[in-house]
Amino acid sequence: MERQTLALSSSSTSGISIISPPPEDAWIITYQKLRPQFQSLFSSNQSVIPIEVSRVNQVDAARLDIEMSAMLKEQLVKVFSLMKPGMLFQYEPELDAFLEFLIWRFSIWVDKPTPGNALMNLRYRDEHVVEARGKVRTGLEGPGLTIVQKIWYCIATVGGQYIWARLQSFSAFRRWGDTEQRSLARRAWFLMQRIEGFYKAASFGNLLLFLFTGRYRSLIERVLRARLVYGSPNMNRAVSFEYMNRQLVWNEFSEMLLLLLPLLNSSSVKNFLRPFSKDNSSNLEGDEALCPICQATPTTPFLAIPCQHRYCYYCLRTRCSATMSFRCSRCNEPVVAMQRHGGSVDHIVTQKE
């Protein structure tokens, strides 16, 4: 009986120790131990949100930045329009670098998007920072560029382009590529050509990667890990597709005209439109004394046969030799021969001779 009472007492005492309340700071200690694990699990699940930034938006932003720089340059050139002609052309690289520096100073340096990026609702994000800060909801969160990235961006875009433009103009002026130059100048020229070829090849490879992944439209952005993301997930494009379509159609139409106009013969077009024109001033007696080709008084006048209109010998002879079916610039009648002004029939010269 004594042994049983001892066993019951021991079991009762052990039971009381099991159901005894924990210490007051047990919850705090457990929370501090498990907090890093929960944070790592939360950040690993939220930092892999895939985002897709339109490639068209990124390319359009770069194009708009170029157009903005050209507009600023045009306005700045008008300020110096009263200066000596050709003087501003000598300092064109400095002018371009100054405008690029202004755009960088008032946009990227102060953590603001460039004009083109602002219109396309884009901003730069530092991709070196992998860990998400705060609550991630859209995948677009992330810090902007650091000071080091901003400075290197300025050095590459502003300083690099200016130095390369000046180096190319200086080498072309000094004719480093000529065979008569010294070996050192030729080596420098060949080195520049190789660097330029390597840069173009690298840019082409970066373009292919950009079209495939949608990240880093230029080599500078890829090296600096400066990625373009949307500034606001709920903001639409500032430039509508309808306006861009009109611009695209007009650009293609202007390029087509630039391609076709040099292929057209201006004199033939004028002769074709002459019957539809209401201006018959070319038939006046004052214009009859002038050569219709060079618009000058013929020193050696010749007449076109059979219309008897007066031409310079050189102008009429070259047109007849170039075109076997040359037509008079005044009446659009075929010219079969030409005759010296005031000469006899023996001075008639046909086009076939």
Read off the pLDDT of residues 4-53 as tens digits, 9 standing for 90 and up.
444 444 444 444 445 667 677 777 777 777 777 766 665 554 444 567 88
Tell me which of 67-71, 75-79, 235-239, 345-349 is least confident: 345-349
Query: 137: pLDDT confidence band, cut at 50, 70 and 90?
Result: low
pLDDT at position 156: 92
Higher pLDDT, 13 or 215: 215
Residue 274, pLDDT above cutoff 50 = yes
Q: How far is CA 328 from CA 261, 324, 338, in A?
A: 22, 12, 11
116, two tokens: 């083109």
pLDDT at position 206: 94
Model's pTM, two decimal places? 0.55
pLDDT at position 234: 73
Residue 142, pLDDT above cutoff 50 = yes
Residue 282, pLDDT above cutoff 60 = no
Higher pLDDT, 83 or 236: 83
**Which residues have a Cβ under 8 Å from the Cβ of 206 and sit 6 or more positions away?**
216, 217, 218, 219, 222
Do 62 and 116 form a contact (C-beta atoms < 8 A)? Answer: yes
Residue 204, pLDDT above cutoff 90 = yes
- Average pLDDT over the chain, rounded to whole? 77
Give dist(CA 275, CA 119) in Å, integer.
51
Residue 172, pLDDT above cutoff 70 = yes
Give the long-range contacts of residues 229-234, CB within 8 A, separation 24 or more. Answer: 229/51, 229/53, 229/122, 229/123, 229/125, 229/140, 229/142, 230/51, 230/53, 230/121, 230/122, 230/123, 230/140, 231/113, 231/117, 231/118, 231/121, 231/122, 231/123, 231/140, 232/121, 233/138, 233/140
Query: 101: pLDDT confidence band, cut at 50, 70 and 90?
Result: very high
pLDDT at position 353: 43
Residue 109, pLDDT above cutoff 90 = yes
Most confident of 97-106, 181-190, 248-257, 284-293: 97-106
pLDDT at position 276: 63
pLDDT at position 339: 80
The percentage of residues in the chain with a pLDDT greater than 90, rounded to a whole number, is 18
Give dist(CA 73, CA 95) in Å, integer.
8
**Of 306, 285, 300, whose CA–CA distance to 340 is shortest?**
300
